Structure 1
Amino acid sequence: MARGGRCRWALGALLALALAAPTRGYESDQYSHRLEPIEDALPVLDRAVNETLARVARRHRGAEDRMGIALGVWRELGGLYWADRIERFVVRTADIEKLPQRRRTSIFAGAPFWATRVNFVFGVGRTFRLAGTLVGSDKLGHFFSQGLKYFRSHLSGWSERRVAGRGRFNERWLFGQATTSNYSNADLVANWEGYRFYRSLFENGIVAGKGPIVRFRGGRAEIARPFTWADHVNDFWDEALNPSYVSKSLARYLERRLPELCADYRRAPERFRPVREAELRARYEGIGLRENLRFRMDHVCAPGWSSTVALESEGR
C-alpha cells in the first residue's frame, strides 16, 4: 500500500475506533502458547453466572417480563464499554489462569498498524480455558452483549435468518473486519450462543434435553435449573480452530508468522483440530461463517502449503 493510502486508512481507522469504542473491536490469539497447561475456568464462571441469575430473579416483581430478566443479566455481566464486566472480571481475577499473551508475545506481535488496525492500539484479549476450549476474553462480551441484541430482535419478531444477518453485518464492518482486519467466525458463534442462552432462560429445548432456566410464578421469578457454559462453548469459539477470514494486509503477515508455530503443532497435532467439526459446521450453517481453513495449523503445517495470498481483492 502506498504511503498516502496508508495514512488515509490510519485516519479512517482511528475514526472508526472512536465510534466503536463503546462496543468492542479487539481480538484474541489462541495460536501461540497453545500447549501450555492452564486450569479450566468452568467452575468459576459457572458460579459467576448462576449467582447473577439468582440475584436478577430475586429482584423480579410482577408479570412475566422476559426482556426485563435478560436486561438484568446484561446489566451485571455485559456493558456499554470497550470490555464487558465479565471480560474485565476474567482479566483481573487471580482465580482464572490465562495464557501469557500480550501484544508483544502474541501472533500479532510486530504487525504494522495498517494490518492489525485498532488492535495495534488496544492489543489482544486474554485467552483462558472454558469447558475444555481455549477462549478469548472478548467472546464473553459477544455472548452477553451481542447475544442480547439478537434476542431483542427475536422478541421483535425477526426471523432467525434476519437475526443472523445482524451479526454478519457487524463482523464485516464497524465491529469486525473494517476495524480489526478480522471477520471473526468465532465471534459469530459466540454471538449466536449468547442468543441461544437468552432464549434458554425461558424456553424448553433450546439446550437439548433441558427446560428453561427461569420460571415465572405468582408475580415472582425463580431459577428452575443451573446454567453451565458447557451447554454453549465448543471448539468453534477458538480462533485457532475456527480461524478468522482476514484482510490481505493481515493475511500476508500471518503467512510469515504461523509456520513458526509448526513445532508446537507437530508435538500435539490433535490440539490444533476441532472435535466434532462436521457437527459444528452443520449447527452453525446460516449464521454467516466464512470458512478459512487456510490459517488452521493442520493446513499451515501440511506439505505444500502455499504462502500466496488469494483471499479477497481488497487492494490493501
Structure 2
Amino acid sequence: MRHICIFSAMILLSTPLLAAEADYFTRREDAPEVSAMLDKKMNEELNAAAGKVKNCSVEALRTELIKSMGGFGIAQIESWLDDNKEAKATGIKFKKSIYQGTMAEAPMAALACCAPLATYKGRVFSADKLGHFLHTGFEMYVVANDRPFLDEKRAPEAPPTDFSFSANKALIEQDAKTWKLKTRGQGATAVLEASQYQENNLWGKMGTGVYSYADIAANYEGYRFWSDLTSGDNPYFVCEHSRWKQARKFSWDEYISDAWDESINCNEYVSSKMKMTVMAASGEVLRKKGWPAKSCPIEPQKCRALVKRYPGALKDVIGPRCQELGLQEPTAAGSNDEGSKSAGGAR
C-alpha cells in the first residue's frame, strides 16, 4: 500500500517534482540561439538582487537570487526560457520524442518529457539545465560546505521570507539532511557524490529512468557559480560602503559547455531494455537526418575538449563513451578543443 500511495503521489506531483528530460536529437537543429538574451537576463537579475539588499548580507543576496531565479522542480529561470516568446525555445511532445517507447520501463518519462532546447554560442542545452545550474547548484554549494541553507544571521534589512521561498528552503534543507553523503563538507567531492545520489534516485533512474551526466555537469557548474558569488579570487560581488557592488559581468560562456548536451555527453538508463529503445529511436533520427554518427556522441570530436575541461571530475561529469573517445589521440577522436578551459579542479 505504501508503494501505491507513493506512486500515486508521484503521478499527481510529477510535473513540479520530477526532473525534466529532453530529446537532444529530434529537433536539435531548430534550437534557437539565446546567448545575448540569456546573459542579459542573468545580469539583470544579479543587479536587481543586489539593489534590494540594504547592506552586505550574503544571506540576503542569496535569498533574493533564489527567490527570483530558483524554484524546486522547475526553477523560474527555466520557466522564463520556456515561456519567452522572443527566444522560442524548441519543444517536442513525448509521443514524438526518442522516449516514446519507454513507458513500460519508465512511465514517469512521459510526464517529464520534454524540456525545450536552445543554444548558447552553438552549444545545445535544454531549459532544465538552467534549473540544475541555479537551484540544484545552490543545493550542491550547501552540501559542499556543510552549511545550513543560508548560513548568516538574518539582518533586519533582509527581504521577508514568503511562502514559496520558505518551501524551497525547507526542501533544500531536507535534501541536505537526507542525502547519505560520506563526503559532506568536502567541496567538489561532495557535489559529485550528491549529484550521483540524485541521478540514481527519484531525480534520475528511479523517476524518469535516465541517469544524466549532463545534469551533473550543470550542477557542478552551478556550484562553481555560487562559490564565486561573493568570495574567491574573482567574485561577482564585493562589499563597498556597506552595499554590494557587482565586480564583474556574468557570462554563461564560463559555464555552459558541450557537457550539457545529452547527445554528446551520453546518458545511462535504468535498464538495458530502455537503453536499447532510446538508442534505436535516436539512431533512426540520425539516419533520417544524414548524420555521420550513428549514435551518441553525435559529435565525438568535442569529447576531447570535455576531457580537458574536467580533469579532476572526469568519471563523474562525463559519460563513459565520451570519456573513451576524449582520451584517444587527436587523430582518432578529433582535435576540436573549443570550450576546454578547465573547470575540474576541486574547490
Asked if the contact 1:38–1:98 (Cα under 8 Å) also holds between the matched residues in 2, the reply is yes
Q: In the alignment, which residue of structure 1 is the partner of 2:74?
A: 83
Identity of aligned residues (%): 20
Residue matched to 2:35: 42
Alignment check: 8 A CA contact 2:137 2:223 kept = yes
Gaps of 5+ in 2: 148-184, 326-347
Q: Would the aligned equivalents of 1:186 and 1:242 in 2 still touch at CA under 8 Å?
A: yes
1:259 matched to 2:259? The reply is no
* The one of 28, 43, 48 aligned to 2:22: 28
The code of the aligned residue for 2:70 comes to G
Please state how far the C-alpha of 1:287 moved relative to its aligned partner: 4.1
What is the one-letter code of the residue matched to 2:125? Answer: V
Q: How far apart are 1:21 and its partner, in Å?
A: 5.3
Please tell me the residue identity of whatever aligns with 2:88.
E
Q: How far, CA to CA, are the matches of 1:83 and 1:91 in structure 2?
A: 11
Report the CA distance between 1:257 and its aligned residue: 1.3
User: Does structure 2 retain, via aligned residues, the 8 Å contact 1:142–1:187?
Assistant: yes
Q: Residues 241-280 of structure 1: matches in 2 within 5 Å? A: 241-248=264-271, 249-263=273-287, 266-267=290-291, 272-273=299-300, 274=302, 276-280=305-309
Query: CA 1:100–1:124 in structure 2 vs 1: closer, same or farther (change >3 Å)?
Result: closer
Change (3 A) 1:245 1:117: same
CA–CA distance in 2 between the matches of 1:74 and 1:179? 25
Determine the structure 2 residue equivalent to 1:65. Answer: 57
Judged with a 3 Å threshold, the aligned counterparts in structure 2 of structure 1 residues 260 and 22 are, in CA distance, closer, same or farther, namely closer
Q: Which residue does the alignment assign to 2:207?
A: 179
Q: Distance in 1 between matches of 2:94 and 2:50?
A: 40
Pick from 186, 204, 211 the counterpart of residue 159 of structure 1: 186
The range that moved more, 21-30 or 214-223, is: 21-30
Cα distance change of structure 1 residues 40 and 284 upon mapping to structure 2, 3 Å threshold: farther
- The Cα offsets for residues 97-127 of structure 1, whole Å up to 9 and x where unpaired, read as 3235222222112x24232331212431111
Higher RCO, Cα 8 Å, sep 6+ = 1
Equivalent residue, structure 2, for 1:137: 127
Deviation at 1:277, TM superposition (A): 3.2
Does 1:107 pair with 2:98? yes
Corresponding residue for 2:336?
Answer: none
Confirm whether residue 53 of structure 1 aligns to residue 57 of structure 2: no
RMSD: 2.8
Q: For the residues of structure 2 that align with 1:133 and 1:218, how far apart are their CA atoms?
A: 40
1:31 corresponds to which letter in structure 2? Answer: F
Query: Taking structure 1 as reference, are residues 280 and 20 closer, same or farther at Cα in structure 2, changes over 3 Å only?
Result: farther
Instruction: Give, as a single letter, the amino acid of the residue that structure 1 aligns with 2:207.
Output: T
1:14 to partner: Cα distance: 4.3
User: Which deviations, in whole Å up to 9, do the C-alpha atoms of 1:44-70 show, x marking residues without a partner?
Assistant: 1111110010011111123x4333322
> Counterparts of 1:107 and 1:190 in 2: how far apart (Å)?
22
1:189 aligns with 2:212: no
Structure 1 residues not aligned, in runs of 5+: 1-7, 206-210, 297-316
Letter paired with 1:213: Y
CA distance in 1, matches of 2:250, 2:89: 23
- Contact 1:25/1:119 (CA < 8 Å) preserved in 2? no
SS in 2 for 1:216: strand
| Most deviating of 165-174 and 14-23 | 14-23
Q: 1:14 and 1:193, CA in 2 relative to 1: closer, same or farther beyond 3 A?
A: farther
